[in-house]
Amino acid sequence: MLDIFAGENALKSIQENGFKQENFINFLGASGGPKWFILFGLDKYLFGNFFKARSSELNLIGSSAGAFRAAALTQKDPVRAIERLAYTYANTVYSSKPSPQEISTQAVHIVEQLFAENGADEIINNEIFKAHFLVAKCNGLTDSDNKIMQGAGLITSMLLNKIDRRLLSKQYQRYIFQHPSSTLTINDPYNFSNVYQTLNPDNIKSALLASGSIPMVMSGIKNIAGSKNGTYRDGGIIDYHFDFSLSNNKSDKQITSGQKLEVDCSKEKYGLTLYPHFSSEPKAGWFDKSSNRRVLASSYENTVLLAPSQSFIQSLPFGKIPDRTDFTKLDAPTRIKYWLKVLEETEKLAECFNDFVIKQDLTKIKAFKP
């Protein structure tokens, strides 16, 4: 029902120390729109039980839907917040041919429901669970909201990515909007430029909206407060399912908003990353969805990936997990009923994971081999 994979270092560490919440210092949340519904039960269990009594920091890093999950799970009551997010999104209804503006307006509504009255302050002031939203700043034609120009820019992106993923850095820059006291560092084998921005009351909602602003589907977010002028879009463009490693520098230092972080490697602290994901075969970026490019094993050496088994997915209505095409392929009542059923069924994955943690049956862990 639930498959568990571990990178080389993670597998060795767990075999030596057991599967314990304190062994994890990072938590990843991928892009994928409503695909994340398959992880709903796990999210509630992980932050309502597994990590509940945690006293040391846990970095939550997400792009697009993963950033929205991070925003929910770093609030004071993470279970209620993730429920608000799931049920607001599941019950969203669009017109038959929604414009980017209509979809963006609905996204604003989802963010407002997610944050409720005090969500922004709770996220910014949470010293244990620290949120990080990944956003792509666009350059050239991808900066435009004109569909013809933007489309031409995206076609160029596809071609550049096909040649070499590194070439995408000509069009996109990774922004990491992070908790004020975060010392997280992204180590990217493809050398995308990283800009670290501190989350604050003036930029937190815009940063989250930007992280989920899908090209061509939604309007880009312009000129986020405190950041360079420009258009900011879906973090999944660069980091769809991730192909990087993470480290933490605990030395005393000041992180200047918008400044590239220089790290003293001698003081870095490495730990494990927990990655609940809807697929056991992660893809690096948005333009890799239909490609044969595999993520690097080195990016997942310290990662434990949790994924629903194919048999569990096939047991769901329509034999699949939710995705954005459901908005157009299904009428609203059918889609909402289907999505709510999936949310209900994911409790089984939480029960399965809880059983694994209690029994510590480490033979269930498979080596992650991309």
pLDDT, tens digit, 9 for 90 and up, residues 298-347: 999 999 999 999 999 999 999 999 999 999 999 999 999 999 999 999 99
Could you report the per-residue pLDDT of 63-97, keeping only the tens digit for each?
999 999 999 999 999 999 999 999 999 999 999 99
Could you report the per-residue pLDDT of 247-304, keeping only the tens digit for each?
987 543 333 344 443 333 333 445 899 999 999 999 999 999 988 999 999 999 999 9
Q: Could you give phi then psi for residue 45, rounded to 5 degrees?
A: -70, -45
What is d(CA 37, CA 180) in angstroms, rounded to the nearest whole number? 29
Q: Give the CA dihedral 227, 230, 231, 232, nearest 10 degrees.
A: -20
**Residue 62: which residues within 8 A CB-CB, separation 6 or more?**
28, 29, 30, 68, 69, 70, 131, 132, 133, 134, 211, 235
Domain count, the chain: 1
Tokens representing residue 315 in the block: 């047991």
Range of the structural domain that residue 278 is part of: 2-350+358-367
Q: Give Rg (Cα) of the chain.
A: 19
Beta strands in 271-333 (DSSP E): 272-276, 303-308
- pLDDT at residue number 350: 98
Tokens representing residue 135 in the block: 């956003």
DSSP state of 219: P
Buried b (16+ CB within 10 A) or exposed e, 6-29: bbbebbebbeeeebebebbbbbbb
What is d(CA 132, CA 356) in angstroms, rounded to the nearest whole number? 28
Portion of the chain with pLDDT greater than 70, in percent:
94
What is d(CA 181, CA 127) in angstroms, rounded to the nearest whole number? 8
- pLDDT at residue number 255: 37
pTM of the model: 0.93
Maximal C-alpha separation, the chain:
56
DSSP state of 7: -
- Tell me the three state secondary structure of residue 73: helix
Q: Could you give phi then psi for residue 5, rounded to 5 degrees?
A: -120, 150
Let me know: does 326 contact 339? Beta carbons within 8 Å. Answer: yes
Tokens representing residue 61 in the block: 């890093």
pLDDT > 60? residue 48: yes
What is d(CA 274, CA 74) in angstroms, rounded to the nearest whole number? 15
DSSP state of 261: P
Could you report the per-residue pLDDT of 207-225, keeping only the tens digit for each?
999 999 999 999 999 999 9
Q: Give the CA dihedral 295, 193, 160, 232, nearest 10 degrees.
A: 100
What is d(CA 311, CA 136) in angstroms, rounded to the nearest whole number? 35
